[in-house]
Structure 1
């Protein structure tokens, strides 16, 4: 769907039931193609009827593939919400222009700083549109006074559906469609009507939420019914429809009167002069002239029935609005990609992976990288980027990236199947709120603490905000893609994990000598040292192995928890290194060269990947791994898949250490199908940039 329509005015109580909302609804109903509707999650939801208008909804202005954009209400609040679309050079942008009444009467409509800031910000954004769609010739003239010669097309305003149901009956009352705006000028009509006994013999009905306070005390048949959902019965018996406004952009009541054949009387202002002959008009404050016209409506109603000059049916107005909204030719250039990710020297596996990814993407796209630590909204709202990709992991480091991505929208590549660490690292309250929303039950903060201590009990994925906002959402495991469909009813995408290192392996004797490793069998486990890596389980399995085999276990990486007490209880502390610290690349590759086998485990529900396990695969290092990790990486046969049982893990390690498999052929085949170049190409396709 390349067409996007801003539907926020249908959420806003100040607009959705008024003329602006009615126009937006009519245009949406008669859009020439299925479209994406923009909504703001902070506003009330669309009505059930309005929610059926778009083929899809977007909670932000990041809409991949958009080529045309229509804004039915460009002067409403928070136009910066649309920054991404309005700054995209290859997107055709059109805006309906209703009037500039606040600009012309700031003392009435722009009396506080917030309102002024919103209005003048919207006025500035209006310059970003390729085509302005004024609702009348006078509004178009005002557009040119303010902006000069700009592309524009007068559309008119769509008549409401109930117009077709009006069937004229014996006239009984005078009618005005009022409102809560003082420019509607009901006082002049009330004075003119009350000035003559023949007029007072017929009720005056003023709909809407306001009328002159003094009118409430008149001893005449003045009726103030408030909001009237169906105006057809009132139109059917109207002697005349009077529109005494002091200023309008386009007068819908006048258009409705003309369409239904009702005598029309209106104030002499530019909008009404564009719709009615002079004989129908009176100066806005001249009650005597208005009284004369009201009497004429009684004596010679046919003289005040205006001919229909233009088709204001909804299909005709929509055709004029969308007729100039044609896609622009796409410029022939390399795509521009904003990439939000940690990069080295940040101690992060995602940083290493992203560095390799950027190298693979560089020949095909212009890459601008942004650090999570100093992130601003710029890469999310700047239309100069053809796509914005936020790369996320399960750590507080990614909290700001997550916040901006879910607020402003982005493509998201999520390295993890859960974001408990990201949420809990911000606050327990935020984590509990996210889990409660996902599980549709109250999740107390104490339960978050329990999940953090033992992820095997975790029930929430904390991926709900991404499911609602990411365009697209990409994972490295089929499990996560399936969970998105099952739990959130959204389609995510699977991108198999890629090899991120060009390894230069050192002969084992030299590597061991460089690391100071003795002659015993060497098992390594790489990555951050924490409970999510099932370290207690690994230590228990190693303790069993030590009963029959002389071996050493080295955790290559930075310790985030202290597991010394467990190793002491198991009696293996002298044979275990509980963290080497974050290793330099050369040292890390020495460990891969020196080891006899690797052990990579995960605790918690399925859906995990391990860059460290893939490094071991790439090194041709026989490994024992949690079955979920191995399957998600499509690991070759020299990776033995295990469950969560110490005896099973110990037996698998013993097999690899006593009868090591030949790995070179399978290693070469794996490298060919998991290259970073292929990964980068697939990623560009998912982003719509290939």
Structure 2
């Protein structure tokens, strides 16, 4: 499990030095030691920057530094006036978003009732794990007239009470607190767990030296014998009742035993208590108010005490009583709330509202040496019943039980690390409830696109999970199922009505059928299905045809930098074979679905830095086709009954290795009159198409080699049924997944393919898999074996039929649903957009000053971190556009000879904001100019400032990687030297775990 602790209780001014802070620290440390197999993360607040290092030191050696995360909220939360509510609401949104990004299985708030004036706490809505809260007590609710004064405080407290009620589990520090949650809040008993409490091992019996005793007595005005109380001094602590009870003791007993109240006491309270003691008849010196004592002083004062009395009216647990018993001090307590379970003995309890009862209990104990000895021994034994190890053990069991129960209730919300098919409902349906509305953006039949027919097979199954409208510019839909079930919307209508849809699914391919999708995705976020990794073909077509000016050039620049742009202007269309140009689509996508791991490989090859790690890889859907039997299909096609057909499916192109297939087939079956080779698809009219025709005409078996031309669905299925051996070859894959290859598998055909691109991921057992680069002899041998060895062909056919279950529409649609929902809740871009939407709807958001909105944007940026290409920015602001010939040459080299995994950009500050100098970069490289664009920087970028110092107040001063150099140093800066510097930054980042 991943357990995230909100540990602001160890930071806030109201808790860090008091019992809640000490309890939280000890509790979390004990759980870390008890749960070495679980991942523990601590969440701290940057608003308490002076305490972050102190908390880090407390966990040094037991928790990796990278597991301590710090979130940013807005400043100025101390003012609780109505005009400041926006800052609190915005900070709460930032907090919620930050915790969700940590993807906890368990999110535990160690102190929920922080934040009225400084901290930002709460349970987190809409995350996959459970919310857990430490419940100390409900004292402010039960004594509201004392503790909840004023409407702002009351409203804040009752919002926290609602959070308590909404949490999955509460960890009560005593059985008394547990019962209060059940009775007052009305929580089911199974949602409240008593984890009890404990104290540090330093609370133990120890003998003070004479010197130490004298030192403490002198410092605090103590005598040899005193009755001790420690804790707070608010009204429920009943200090006045204790003083009254003490005043009722016989004078001689008071003369021998002072009453020592050990706690931090402000001057007003000190005056009030001294006045009260005087009115009760106590002479000076009998009541001692020590004020603040250190932890070690407290332990020593416990050990020097004669008797400990705890007259509190209400406690969540009562740690001082446990501390006193552990130090061997006879202990008397109230008979209320949790204190009876702490002391475990009825005859040491009294009614705290009756001073006579308190006084009598003190008198009976101090005057009875045997009772004093008995209570001392009982206290030591009772204290051993409590330990942080036990508390951690109960806590861990509560977490594990609650997580298991949550998974049963919500199996479809799992982290990216979980298998795609994990914990799905057995019937494949989502939990009951209203289905989200989904816009399905894709070409559809009769468009001559494999993606259109793929979509037609996916839609009926995906409709089990969503209410779907299809979005397409087509004026005709030939598929009756789609026409009858799915309203069809134009892209223009969809753009105006996008707010009606909770989910959007884009099917992107590298053909003209997808032209309209680029602008739609830019404005309307959604999940992208990347059927082709390379999108350079369609983008080039859009620019060359004039439909979208500079669309290909801009995509090249954003995806691959100035070197790719320079290549385009030098090579033209040939550049589409080298560059996928798809990074804008990947960065705009609210999640990406691909059909092969090869697409991830390409993403890493072109972009690096873990781009693609959070994609979903879903098998290419193939619906089982209702095919004729082999003999009947041959008869319908006019083929001889004795014919043995080798077929390949798809249009003819160099990447399909059609000529290699002709040569190998002729070598294997030239003299077999029953052998036929069929190309099911259209031939091209280019040079390669003519070469194929020439090869066929030159073959002695030319009468048994056919090219069908474009095949209708019916003809395609006839040829698929009639095929005896299928061959699907590829080279120079650019990330596409062959639908035809999967059709052959789904049809149970004996298949030959080569391990190119996504084909390398298919198991060898389902077909005859050749190497990526094979010889003609290897292909010839495979063709001969399968056409003549029917037993081997039958085995491969059966293996293919068994494999096709994972390609079935129900199986694939279920994985689509899970991935779309996962992206909708967890993808960083989705989170960022959802956060911005929530922030815009906050009351008074529209009237905030620009400085407040800038602060909000900075905090949001610091809290959201996801993989993108890092940039190295060279700041030319101070040069005033005066560039020497040497500097121009140096900059041109740095723009083209990029360090691996980095991009270099020239930037300049204009009117207080930075711009990327695309025009200057293009001039330096002597290529057509591209427009300058605003700079949105991130914390993992690097900066080189020339002869300038970054102002401390600047937003850029927070960037971790800044280098200041002189102009002549930049003139001499080589790409290799820059690469070495950036490599060093990456190493530092990796070591820090950031």
Q: TM-score range by the shorter chain?
A: 0.5 to 0.7
Counterpart position of 2:293: 228
Partner Cα separation in structure 1 for residue 387 and residue 591 of structure 2: 54
Matches within 5 A, 1:237-276: 237-276=304-343
Q: 1:59 to 1:117 in 2, by over 3 A?
A: farther
Counterpart position of 1:190: 243
Q: 1:405 to 1:540 in 2, by over 3 A?
A: closer
Matches within 5 A, 1:618-629: none
Counterpart position of 1:87: 125
Structure showing greater relative contact order (alpha-carbon pairs closer than 8 Å, 6 or more residues apart): 1
Partner Cα separation in structure 2 for residue 338 and residue 134 of structure 1: 40
Counterpart position of 2:161: 123
Question: Quick one: which of 61, 68, 78 aligns to 1:57?
Answer: 68
Partner Cα separation in structure 2 for residue 188 and residue 258 of structure 1: 22
Count, aligned residues: 449
Counterpart position of 1:555: 929
Residue 373 of structure 1: CA displacement?
9.1
Matches within 5 A, 1:510-659: 532-533=916-917, 535=919, 554-555=928-929, 557=931, 605=944
Instruction: Give the structure-1-normalised TM-score.
Output: 0.55
Contact kept in structure 2, 1:178 and 1:186, CA below 8 Å: no
Contact kept in structure 2, 1:5 and 1:37, CA below 8 Å: yes
Matched, 1:279 2:340: no
> Secondary structure at 2:45's aligned position in 1?
coil
Residue 81 of structure 1: CA displacement?
4.6
Residue 197 of structure 1: CA displacement?
0.7
> Secondary structure at 2:308's aligned position in 1?
strand
Partner Cα separation in structure 1 for residue 393 and residue 831 of structure 2: 46
Matched, 1:76 2:114: yes
Partner Cα separation in structure 2 for residue 355 and residue 147 of structure 1: 50
Residue 478 of structure 1: CA displacement?
12
Contact kept in structure 1, 2:172 and 2:178, CA below 8 Å: yes
Question: Quick one: which of 502, 522, 540 aligns to 1:344?
Answer: 522
Partner Cα separation in structure 2 for residue 413 and residue 9 of structure 1: 34
Q: 1:136 to 1:338 in 2, by over 3 A?
A: farther
> Secondary structure at 2:132's aligned position in 1?
strand
Task: Render the CA deviation track for 1:81-101: whole Å, top value 9, x for unaligned.
Answer: 566x73254323332211000
Task: Render the CA deviation track for 1:376-408: whole Å, top value 9, x for unaligned.
Answer: 26499xxxxxxxxxxxxxxx9x97995353354
Q: 1:148 to 1:332 in 2, by over 3 A?
A: closer
Residue 161 of structure 1: CA displacement?
3.1
Residue 102 of structure 1: CA displacement?
0.7
Contact kept in structure 1, 2:870 and 2:902, CA below 8 Å: no
Partner Cα separation in structure 2 for residue 25 and residue 242 of structure 1: 26
Residue 177 of structure 1: CA displacement?
0.3
Instruction: Give the structure-2-normalised TM-score.
Output: 0.40
Matches within 5 A, 1:318-467: 318-326=392-400, 327-328=403-404, 329=407, 331=411, 344=522, 353-355=583-585, 358=589, 361-362=592-593, 364=616, 365-366=819-820, 367-368=823-824, 376=836, 378=838, 402-403=857-858, 405-406=860-861, 408-411=863-866, 413=868, 416-418=871-873, 450-451=877-878
Unaligned runs of at least 5 residues, structure 1: 381-395, 421-448, 458-475, 482-493, 498-529, 543-552, 561-603, 607-642, 646-690
Matched, 1:299 2:367: yes
Task: Render the CA deviation track for 1:153-201: whole Å, top value 9, x for unaligned.
Answer: 2122221332135349997210000324221111111122223313321
Counterpart position of 1:392: none
Partner Cα separation in structure 2 for residue 6 and residue 160 of structure 1: 21
Partner Cα separation in structure 2 for residue 181 and residue 198 of structure 1: 30
Partner Cα separation in structure 2 for residue 335 and residue 111 of structure 1: 43
Partner Cα separation in structure 2 for residue 123 and residue 287 of structure 1: 34
Counterpart position of 1:315: 389
The structure that is helix-richer by fraction is 2
Task: Render the CA deviation track for 1:642-686: whole Å, top value 9, x for unaligned.
Answer: x999xxxxxxxxxxxxxxxxxxxxxxxxxxxxxxxxxxxxxxxxx
Partner Cα separation in structure 2 for residue 73 and residue 198 of structure 1: 45
Partner Cα separation in structure 1 for residue 592 and residue 8 of structure 2: 37
Counterpart position of 2:199: 159
Q: 1:454 to 1:41 in 2, by over 3 A?
A: farther
Residue 532 of structure 1: CA displacement?
4.2
Q: 1:156 to 1:298 in 2, by over 3 A?
A: same
Partner Cα separation in structure 2 for residue 157 and residue 401 of structure 1: 39
Q: 1:451 to 1:65 in 2, by over 3 A?
A: farther
| Coordinate RMSD, CA, aligned | 4.7
Q: 1:220 to 1:51 in 2, by over 3 A?
A: same
Counterpart position of 2:144: 106
Partner Cα separation in structure 2 for residue 298 and residue 288 of structure 1: 15
Q: 1:182 to 1:315 in 2, by over 3 A?
A: same
Residue 135 of structure 1: CA displacement?
1.1
